Structure 1
Amino acid sequence: MTLSQISISRIAVIGAGPSGIASARALRDEGAFDTITVFERNSEVGGTWIYSKEAERAPQIPSANALVIDPPCQPALRQPPFSAIYDNLSTNIPTTIMCYRDIPFPSNCPLFPDRHQVLAYVQSVAERYDLLPMIRFNTTVVCVEPTADNKWQISATEWLDDKETSYTELYDAIVVASGHHFIPFIPDIEGLKEFSSTATVLHAQNYRCPQGYANKTVLVVGKGPSSSDLVREISTTAAKVYYCIRGEETHHTKSVFERENPPKNVERVGPLSRFSADTGIIQCQDGKEIYYVDTVFFATGYLYSFPFLPFERDNLIVDGKTVFGIYEDIFYVKNPTLAFVGLHSHVVPMPFTQVQSMVIASYWSGRIALPPTKVMQEAIADETDNPKKLALGIEKEVAAVKRMGAWIEGYQGKLEDWNSIDPVIGPLSENWIKDRHRTLELRKKCLGY
Structure 2
Amino acid sequence: MELPSTFVFQCIPLQPLFDQKQICIVGAGPVGLAALKVVLDAPQFKAGLWKPTVFEARQNVGGIWLPASADDPGYEDFSPTTPLYDCLTTNLAHPSMAYTDFAFPPSTPLFPPASTVLTYLNSYADHFHLRPYIHHNTTVTNIEYQSPKWIVQTGPPAPSSPAKFDLVIICNGHYKVPRYPDIPGLGAWLDARKATHSAWYRNPSSTLGSTLLVVGGGPSGQDICNELRLSGRTVFQSVSSPEGLGPHARGQLSQLNDPSKGEVTFSDGSTLSNIDHCIFATGYEFSFPFFPPHVLQPSVSDPIPPLPTTLHNSTYNVFPLAKHIFPLQTAFPPTSLAFLGLLIRVAPFPLVEAQAKAVLAAFSNPEKLDQLSEAVDVMNRYQELRTRLWDSNSASGNEEIQISKLWHRFEPLEQFEYRDQMCAFAGDETRVESWEVEIYLKKNLLRKVWNALVKTGEAEQCIRGVGKGGKSEWVELMKWMVKKGEEEDLEGKARL
Q: TM-score range by the shorter chain?
A: 0.7 to 0.9
Partner residue, 1:198: 192
CA deviations over 1:210-250 (Å, ceiling 9, x no partner):
1233652111011110000000111122531111011366x
Q: Is the 8 A contact 2:80 2:199 kept in 1?
A: no
CA drift of 1:59 comes to 6.6
Q: Show the 5 A alignment for 1:217-228.
A: 217-228=211-222
Once the 2 structures are TM-superposed, how far is the Cα of residue 133 of structure 1 from its aligned partner?
A: 0.4
Preserved contact between residue 58 and residue 201 of structure 1 (Cα < 8 Å): no
- 1:331 and 1:81 map into 2 onto residues whose CA distance is 29
1:306 and 2:288 correspond: yes
For 1:196 and 1:140, the matched residues in 2 are separated by 29
Give the residue type in structure 2 aligned to 1:18. P
Q: Which residue of 1 aligns with 2:81?
A: 82
Residue 229 of structure 2 aligns with which residue? 235
**Letter of the aligned partner of 1:331 in structure 2?**
F
Going from structure 1 to structure 2, the CA distance change for 1:215 and 1:237 (only over 3 Å counts) comes to farther
Contact between 2:256 and 2:264, CA under 8 Å: does it hold in 1?
Answer: yes
Larger Rg belongs to: 2
| 8 Å CA contact retained: 2:237, 2:249 | yes
1:388 deviation in Å?
1.1
> What is residue 26 of structure 2 aligned with on the other side?
14
Which SS does the other structure have where 1:202 is aligned? Answer: strand
Q: Give 1:199 deviation, angstroms.
A: 4.7
Q: In the alignment, what sits opposite 1:275? A: 256
Report matched runs for 1:27-426 at 5 Å.
27-32=39-44, 33-54=49-70, 57=75, 81-147=80-146, 149-157=147-155, 164-213=158-207, 216-247=210-241, 267-277=248-258, 279-310=261-292, 311-313=295-297, 314=299, 315-334=310-329, 335-336=333-334, 337-366=336-365, 369-371=368-370, 373-381=371-379, 383=382, 384-385=400-401, 386-409=404-427, 422=429, 425-426=430-431
Q: Distance in 2 between the 1:174 and 1:366 partners?
A: 16
The residue type equivalent to 2:65 in the other structure is: W
What residue identity is the alignment partner of 1:12? C
Unaligned runs of 5+ in 1: 61-79, 258-265, 411-421
Q: Is the 8 A contact 2:38 2:356 kept in 1?
A: yes
CA gap of 1:130–1:57, structure 2 versus 1, over 3 A, is closer
Tell me the secondary structure at the aligned position of residue 97 of structure 1. Answer: helix
What is the Cα deviation at residue 204 of structure 1? 1.2
CA distance in 2, matches of 1:150, 1:367: 14
Cα 1:174–1:325 shift into 2, 3 Å: same
Figure out how many residues of one structure are paired with residues of the other and give that number.
394
Whole-angstrom distance in 2 between the partners of 1:94 and 1:326 = 30
- Which structure 2 residue ranges, 5 or more long, are not aligned? 1-11, 300-309, 383-399, 456-496
- 1:240-283 CA-to-partner distances (Å, cap 9, x unmatched) read 1111011366xxx96xx6xxxxxxxx710111111112653101
Is residue 326–residue 333 contact of structure 1 (8 Å, CA) maintained in 2? yes
> Are residue 441 (structure 1) and residue 410 (structure 2) matched?
no
Provide the C-alpha distance between the structure 2 equivalents of 1:198 and 1:145, rounded to a whole number of angstroms. Answer: 40
State whether residues 141 and 157 of structure 1, in contact with CA within 8 Å, keep that contact through their aligned partners in structure 2: yes
Indicate the SS of the match to 2:195. Answer: strand
RMSD across aligned positions (CA): 2.6
- Cα drift, residue 300 of structure 1: 1.0
Deviates more, 1:375-384 or 1:211-220: 375-384
Higher deviation after alignment, 378-387 or 327-336: 378-387
Q: Give distance in 1, aligned partners of 2:237 and 2:376.
A: 43
Contact 2:143 2:290 in 1 (8 A): yes
Distance 1:369 1:48 in 2: 33
- In 1, the alpha carbon distance for the partners of 2:314 and 2:133 equals 33
Separation (CA, whole Å) in 2 of partners of 1:376 and 1:212? 48
Whole-angstrom distance in 2 between the partners of 1:330 and 1:8 = 24
Letter in 1 for 2:106: S
Pairwise CA distance, 1:196: 2.5
AA aligned opposite 1:442: L
Post-superposition shift, 1:57? 4.5
- Give the AA of the match of 2:199: Q
Query: Looking at both structures, which has the greater relative contact order when contacts are Cα pairs under 8 Å and sequence separation is at least 6?
Result: 1
Contact 1:25 1:131 in 2 (8 A): yes
> Aligned equivalents of 2:296 and 2:200: distance in 1?
27
Question: Are the aligned partners of 2:185 and 2:257 in contact in 1 as well (CA < 8 Å)?
Answer: yes
- More displaced 10-residue stretch of structure 1: 323-332 or 266-275: 266-275
Normalising by structure 2, we get a TM-score of: 0.74
Which 4+ residue blocks in structure 1 deviate beyond 6 angstroms?
A: none
Looking at structure 2, the residues matched to 374 and 92 of structure 1 have their Cα atoms a distance apart, in angstroms, of: 38
- For the 8 Å contact 2:312–2:320, the answer to whether it is kept is no
Return the TM-score normalized by structure 1. Answer: 0.82
Task: Report the CA distance shift for 1:363/1:202 in structure 2 as closer, same or farther (over 3 A).
Answer: same
CA distance in 1, matches of 2:240, 2:418: 29
For residue 155 of structure 2, give the secondary structure of its aligned residue in structure 1. Answer: strand
C-alpha change, 1:166 and 1:238, in structure 2 (3 Å) is farther
What is the deviation of 1:87? 1.0
8 A contact 1:13–1:175 mirrored in 2: yes
Cα 1:393/1:8, change in 2 over 3 Å: farther
Q: Contact conserved, 1:16 with 1:47, CA < 8 A, in 2?
A: yes
SS in 1 for 2:249: strand
CA distance in 1, matches of 2:317, 2:410: 13
Residue 30 of structure 1: how far off its partner (Å):
1.1
SS in 2 for 1:166: coil
SS for the counterpart of 2:168 is strand
SS in 1 for 2:191: coil
**In structure 2, what is the Cα distance between the partners aligned to 1:374 and 1:179?**
29
